[in-house]
Amino acid sequence: MKFQNSIDVTQYKSKGFISAYQKLIKETVIPFQYDVMCDNVEGADKSHVIKNFVNAGKALRGENTDDGFFGMVFQDSDAAKWLEAVAYSLAVIPDEKLEKTADELIELIAQAQDEDGYLNSFFTIKDREKRWTNLLEGHELYCSGHMIEAACAYYEATGKRKLLDVMLKNAKHIYNLFVKEKKEGYGGHPEIELALLRLYKLTGEKFCLETAKHFIDVRGVDRDFFKKECEKRKWKVWGMSPGDLHYNQSHAPVREQTDAVGHSVRAVYLYTAMADLAAIVEDEELSEACLRLWKSITEKRLYITGAIGSTVHGEAFTVDYDLPGDTAYAETCASIGLMMFASKMLESKLEGEYADIMEKAFYNCVLAGIALDGKSFFYVNPLECIPGVSAVACTHSHVKTQRPKWYPCACCPPNVARLISSFGKYVYGENSEAVFCHLYAAGEVSFKNGVDFSLESQYPYDMNLKFNIKKGGKKLYIRIPSWSKSFGTEKNGKEVSLKAEKGYVCFDICDGDEIVIRLYDEPYFVYSNNAVSALSNKKALMRGPLVYCFEGNDNENDVLSLRLNDGKKATVSEKNKNLSGAVTLKAHCFRRESFSSLYSLEKPDEKEYVATAIPYYTWCNRGENQMRVWL
């Protein structure tokens, strides 16, 4: 079954777990991040995003730009992702004051646009003559892509065209330059491709589709492009090597690529666009490439938490089965990108494994990227943290033991905000014949094909799902997760025997029907492939979609001496009030006695110990302490 479209965020009204997070984004994260962008948060790294747009507008008017440009070359994208998060939030929770703030920022952005449609505060303020001369490092297409996404979202949520018209003009400028005038090249950081496809779907403007296809088709064809570009200019941003083709996925034409390589965020942003384009134009060769790359990630290069990117060097994939936990990079943005890739794969082919990965990434790595109070963020998401080694040893310097309030490179915080605010579009999908429940999120959903129902559930801590059908007349496909060892189904109070096909069960639904799904609710152990050397003879603990970890706070400040006993079942324990009511587990372990010397000839004693495990996404919310996923 192909081309079931994800719903837009206005169709879903959340309740329960997701609603609490969306409320946190609305009431805490969005205001906090705006204050950061205005440089009003004490103790947070300076952002200057808003002032950059003000200064860009002044530069175009020939006025004094005060303190010029500050920040990363891609600083504009922070504002774009913030606006996108605002748009989704406004669709769910209207707020006139917030909308007014967003409108004011959009006006500043519009004033920063050049007459020909060009929009980028870095080059407009610093040197307009250098526009489009450093595609390797300049992030001009990347920033345009994120602002296009924001424009689409804001129009869908509010009906206002100001930013949409700005970005249509910008997209036309890009089309004229790269397609009509045939300027060579493509962005070092993929993003424009997926954004243009979204703009095409919203507006129907075929030049957007043509430009996106162009950028996808030309990537990697001329393997010397970035080298030749570098030789033509006498300036640089960071001094990236134009010869590192794997870093930006330009080592081969996209249809010939076989393994997920290079910078993990760049990779999955590119793969998302490839999957979307393949579905739109029915390009089977491109679809096959997407499937190869999907398998490369999910079968050999994926952490149990749904994280990707195992090394700090290049924030990148390395080789098959190289998944160290203590030095993992596992960028929050990369897991968000993986969700995007999975969603596009799912739209073209109804396979439960795609939704399984979306769920894994969201409930573990993505949610770990934000503190429970919404005021600090992880960029890197390790599976092991040992104070005194993490953030101290040169090999572990990238692994933080506490979430910072902000970052000089702040791509992850606003990315989390936009993902959580838009969660509904990942949960449900529809076409003319059916509706699809890919993930589980309590609330009400109204589909454009006429179906209307609510879902009652305390997921991810309660595995019982009740669908109350208000308006039916179609088929309802509900995913059964691969982790659910057994499941039960009811329709109108009667047990029905259904077999999951490709990860989904199907119901014919009518007005007034009640559908109940009961998923496996006991904790379970997970074991790794022997090829993952970092996990040799280790095991992990999960319940439902949640990966659990062991923190020193709950376990006598020592998780290093614990050995998990899979000969006894772990049990559901209690809700932890200090972790926003997260359900904890009790796991049988052995605790090994230590000794004073570095090594010993004597076998250490072991004692039985009942350890407490908490959901991985809640770790590091009670101060600095040890943490491990795999024991």
Q: CB of 103 within 8 A of CB of 160?
A: yes
Distance in angstroms (rounded) separating the CA atoms of residues 504 and 494 = 19
Distance from C-alpha of 489 to C-alpha of 28, rounded to nearest angstrom: 39
- Partners of residue 589 on adjacent β-strands: 564, 609
How far, in whole angstroms, is CA 552 from its chain's centroid? 28
608 is an active site residue: no
Half-sphere exposure of 55 (CA within 13 A, CB side): 21
Strands 12-14 and 571-576: unpaired
Cα-based angle 459, 462, 463 (whole degrees, multiple of 5): 85
The total of other beta-carbon atoms located within 10 Å of residue 10's CB is 15
Other CB atoms within 10 A of residue 46 CB? 13
Long-range contacts of 593-598 (CB under 8 A, 24+ apart): 593/561, 594/561
Annotated active-site residue 411? The verdict is: yes
Question: First vs last Cα of the chain: how many Å apart?
Answer: 41
Alpha carbon distance 603, 605 (integer Å): 7
Whole-number Å distance between alpha carbons of 525 and 120:
49
- Are the beta carbons of 562 and 538 closer than 8 angstroms? no
Q: Smallest Cα–Cα separation from 338: which of 313, 321, 320, 355?
A: 355
C-alpha to C-alpha distance for 106 and 161, rounded to whole angstroms: 10
Catalytic residue among 411, 412, 437, 620: 411
- CA dist 118 → 115, 128, 179 (Å): 7, 10, 15
Pairing mode, if any, of strands 546-551 and 606-615? antiparallel
CB 73 within 8 A of CB 138: yes
Pairing of strands 464-471, 475-479: unpaired
Burial class of residue 536 in the structure, from the number of CB atoms within 10 Å of its CB (0-12 exposed, 13-18 middle, 19+ buried): exposed
Q: Of 577, 582, 598, 592, give the one whose Cα is nearest residue 548.
A: 582
SS (H, E, C) 385-430: ECECCECCCHHHCCCCCCCCCCCCCCCHHHHHHHHHHCCHHHHEEE
42: its two tokens: 């004490």
For residues 498 and 505, give the distance between their C-alpha atoms in angstroms, rounded to a whole number: 7
Q: How do strand 475-479 and strand 504-508 relate by DSSP bridges? A: antiparallel
User: Which residue among the candidates 193, 229, 315, 359 is catalytic per the annotation?
Assistant: 315
Would you call 469 helix, strand, or coil by DSSP? strand
Which token pair is 581? Answer: 């009511």
The residues carrying an active-site annotation are 315, 411
